[in-house]
Amino acid sequence: MKAEVILRLVHLDDEAADHGQQSRRDGIRRRAREAVLAMAAEELDVPLERLRLVFHCRDCQRGDDGNHGQPQLELDGAPAPVRLSYSRHGEWLLAALIFRPVLLGVDLEDTASDAFGELDNIDSVALTDEERVLVESSDSARLLRARLWIRKEALLKSTGHGLRLAPDTVGVADGDGNPSLVLWPGDAGERPGIRLLDVELPTSVQGVPVPATLAAALAVGGSSQPGITFREALAKRS
Average pLDDT over residues 150-163: 96
What confidence tens digit (pLDDT) does each residue in 133-147 have?
A: 999 999 999 999 999
Domain locations along the chain: 5-231
- Please tell me the predicted confidence (pLDDT) of residue 1: 46
Whether the predicted pLDDT of 235 surpasses 60? no
User: What is the reported pTM?
Assistant: 0.90
Q: Which of 57, 99, 69 is nearest to 222 (CA)?
A: 99
What confidence tens digit (pLDDT) does each residue in 183-202 have?
A: 999 989 899 999 999 999 99
Cβ neighbours for 91, distance < 8 A, ≥ 6 positions apart: 11, 12, 13, 14, 28
What kind of architecture, by CATH, is found in domain 5-231?
Alpha-Beta Complex (3.90)
What's the CA gap between 229 and 100, in Å, rounded? 15
Average pLDDT over residues 22-43: 89
